[in-house]
Amino acid sequence: MTRLAPVRMLLPGVLLCCALALPAFAANGAIEAQPSSKVNYILVGFAGGFVRHDNPHHGPVQLAQRLRREAPAGTYVEVFENRRRKKAYKTVLRLLDSNHDGNLSDDEKSQAHVILFGHSWGGSAVVLLARELHRTGVPVLLTVQVDSVAKPWQQDEVIPDNVEAAVNFYQSHGLIHGRSEIKAEDGSKTQILGNYRFDYREHPVQCEATSWFDRTFTPSHMQSQCDPQLWNKVEDLVRERIELAPTLAAVPGQ
């Protein structure tokens, strides 16, 4: 028994070291991401309506998949449901907190390269998130709204002056159609790249895995979320902004 006493004394310390060496687990069992290096670009998309963030037929999700494969190292890309805007906000702040001290310094804010894009209610979520980042002092490189639809208590027309550039794509037919014009809160700080109209009655596109309701009552709005020509334009704008951003040292991305 006396020979085992030193082992008993060492056992708690050994268990503690093993616990610290294991990755942290979230409440749902998933490993929590602990960024170990700086993220250069943060690309956040919002799905429209009640579409899930991982719906493979949805325009923002497909765009995010392409960007994850082809964007520069150090690029974080994620799509959220439009009702998860607060989660997206916290994610952006966490990624910008490069020293992980729980606070954003002026230097960390100035290094932000954030791009936001979304469809329908997700387009409105883009503007709302940009406003929340404005209150925190975080700049945004670009906002992209595709057939943006605001919920009754939301306002998606005026782009806050922390946004460097903004663009709006819309169609004007059906029960649900997007905002036809966005404008800058301060034209000297935000460049409106354009309000571009698409007409799916003249140039229809085929969408996969759509509901009977969408095909019957909101066909044009439905087509705006799967139109490859439109989302290619969004992708070009995103890539252009990444290329124009100040060059940073490439690091492994998320």
User: Into how many domains does the chain fold?
Assistant: 1
* Residue 139 lies in domain: 39-244
- The reply to whether 82 falls in a domain is yes
pTM of structure:
0.81
Contacts by 213-222, CB closer than 8 A, 24 or more apart: 217/174, 217/175, 218/174, 218/175, 218/176, 219/174, 220/171, 220/173, 220/174, 220/177, 221/120, 221/147, 221/149, 221/171, 221/174, 221/175, 221/176, 221/177, 221/178
The confidence score (pLDDT) of residue 145 equals: 98
- The reply to whether 95 falls in a domain is yes
- The reply to whether 31 falls in a domain is no
- The reply to whether 28 falls in a domain is no
What's the CATH number where 135 sits? Answer: 3.40.50
The bridge status of strand 183-184 relative to strand 158-159 is parallel
- The reply to whether 108 falls in a domain is yes
- N-to-C CA span, the chain: 51
- The reply to whether 175 falls in a domain is yes
What is d(CA 165, CA 75) in angstroms, rounded to the nearest whole number? 19
Beta bridge partners of residue 146, listed in sequence order: 119, 169
- The reply to whether 34 falls in a domain is no
What is d(CA 158, CA 150) in angstroms, rounded to the nearest whole number? 12
- The reply to whether 180 falls in a domain is yes
The confidence score (pLDDT) of residue 211 equals: 85
The confidence score (pLDDT) of residue 245 equals: 59
Angle subtended at Cα 232 by Cα 112 and Cα 200, rounded to the nearest 5 degrees: 125
The confidence score (pLDDT) of residue 57 equals: 92
Q: What is the pLDDT along the chain (254 residues), one digit of tens a residue?
A: 445 444 454 444 443 344 333 333 333 322 233 444 578 999 999 999 999 999 999 999 999 999 999 888 899 999 999 999 999 999 999 999 988 998 999 999 998 999 999 999 999 999 999 999 999 999 999 999 999 999 998 999 999 999 999 999 999 998 898 999 999 999 999 999 999 999 999 999 999 888 888 888 899 999 999 999 999 999 999 999 997 655 433 333 33
What is d(CA 110, CA 141) in angstroms, rounded to the nearest whole number? 11
